Amino acid sequence: MAVPSQDPKFEPGETVRIRNAYPIGHCRTPFYIRGLSGKVERICGHFPNPEELAYGRDSQPALPLYRVRICMTEIWSDYSGPSQDTVEVEVFEHWLEHVGHPNP
Amino acid sequence: MIERDLTEFRGVHDLGGLLNEPFAPDEHEYEPWEKRVHAMRELLASKGLLRVDELRRAVEGMGEEKYKRLSYYEQWVWAMSQVMLERGLFTDAEFGACIEQVQQRTLAERLGTQAERLGTQTQGSD
C-alpha cells in the first residue's frame, strides 16, 4: 500500500536555499547549485526519490519536487549577461531549506 | 586533520557549472550492437529489472577512468551488468564464463579469417 505523501513545505514565490550537502550515491541535485538561493517557480508534483530508486529500493512516500529559479549572478561571480538572467533546476524537497533557517 | 576539498564529492558526470570546450553535435548511425544494447535495456526495464535511476547510478559510479574511456553504449553494458549482478540475475562466475565463450568465439573467427586469407594467397601464387 502506498504511503500517503506529505503536503509540500514550500510555496511558489518562496525563497529557498539548496542545502550544502555532499552525499555519496546517486544524486540529482547538481553540484554547482549547492548552497545557492533561489525562488520556487512551481511545485512539479510528488515523485519517488531517485536516490532510493537507484539502489533498487521503493521510494515511499513520494516527495515533492520543485522548480527553483536561480539568478545567473548567484552562480557565476563574473556574470556579464543581463542581471535578470536565471536558470531553473528541479530539486527535491529534502534538498531545500528556508532561507534564514539553516538546518542544524 | 586531513583537509578535504568539497570538489572531491563532485561526481565525474556532474559537469554543470564547469568550463568546457565547445562540443560538435555528432550525427551518426548506431552500430547494430548498440541497438541491441538499447533493446536489452528496454527489455529489462519492461520486466522491472532495471530502473533508469539504477542505470544512471551504475554509470556514475564506474570511476573516472572508465567513464572517460568507454563510449556511451559501452557504459550502458558495464552499468547493466553491474545492476544485474546485484539483482542476482546471474553469478559473477556465470558472467565470467560467458565472457570466456565470447573471447574464444572471437578468437576462432579471427583464426578462421586468417586461414581463409592464407589459403587464398597460396592458391593465387600457383
pLDDT tens-digit profile of A26-77? 999 999 999 999 999 999 999 999 999 999 998 889 999 999 999 999 999 8
For all residues of chain A together, what is the average pLDDT?
92
Residue B7 pLDDT > 90, yes or no? no
Q: Strand pairing partners for B84?
A: none
- Total length of chain A: 104
Q: Is B67 a residue whose pLDDT tops 60?
A: yes
Q: Does A53 touch chain B (CB under 8 A)?
A: yes
Residue linked to cell 559473477: B92
Q: Which residues of A53-81 are buried (b: 16+ CB within 10 A; e: fewer)?
A: bbeeeebeebbbbbbbebbebebeeeeee
Say yes or no to pLDDT of A102 above 60: no
C-beta atoms of A31 and B14 within 8 A:
yes
Give A34's Cβ-side CA count (13 Å radius): 18
Pairwise CA distance, residues B32 & B35, whole Å: 5
Average pLDDT on B72-92 reads 96
Please give the full DSSP string across A62-91, using - where no structure is assigned: -EEEEEEEEEHHHH-TT--S-TT-EEEEEE
What mean pLDDT, rounded, does chain B reach?
A: 91
If you average pLDDT over residues A76-96, what whole number do you get?
Answer: 96
Choice between A1 and B86, residue whose per-residue pLDDT is larger = B86
This prediction has a pTM of: 0.85
Chain A (17-46) residues lying within 8 Å, Cβ to Cβ, of chain B: 22, 24-27, 30-33
Instruction: Return the amino acid letter for B8.
Output: E
The residue type of A29 is T
pLDDT tens digits for range B41-59: 999 999 999 999 999 999 9
For residue B11, give the chain A residue with the closest CA: A31
> DSSP 3-state assignment of A55?
coil
b/e code A5-23 from CB counts within 10 Å (16+ = b): eeebebeeeeebbbbeeee
Compute the distance between CA of residue A61 and CA of residue A45 in angstroms, rounded to an integer: 12
ipTM exceeds 0.85: yes
Inter-chain contact A31–B56, Cβ cutoff 8 Å?
no
d(CA A40, CA A15): 6
Q: Is the pLDDT of residue A8 over 70?
A: yes
Adjacent-strand bridge partners of A37: A17
DSSP B13-51: T--TT-----------PPPHHHHHHHHHHHHHHHTTS--
For residue B111, the distance in angstroms to the closest alpha carbon of chain A comes to 43
Whether omega before A61 lies within 30 degrees of 0, making that bond cis, reads: yes
pLDDT of residue A100: 65
pLDDT at B28: 87
Check whether B1 has a pLDDT greater than 80: no
Q: Using an 8 Å Cβ cutoff, are B89 and B50 in contact?
A: no
Q: What is the pLDDT of residue B6?
A: 85
Measure the CA–CA gap between B45 and B80, rounded to whole angstroms: 11
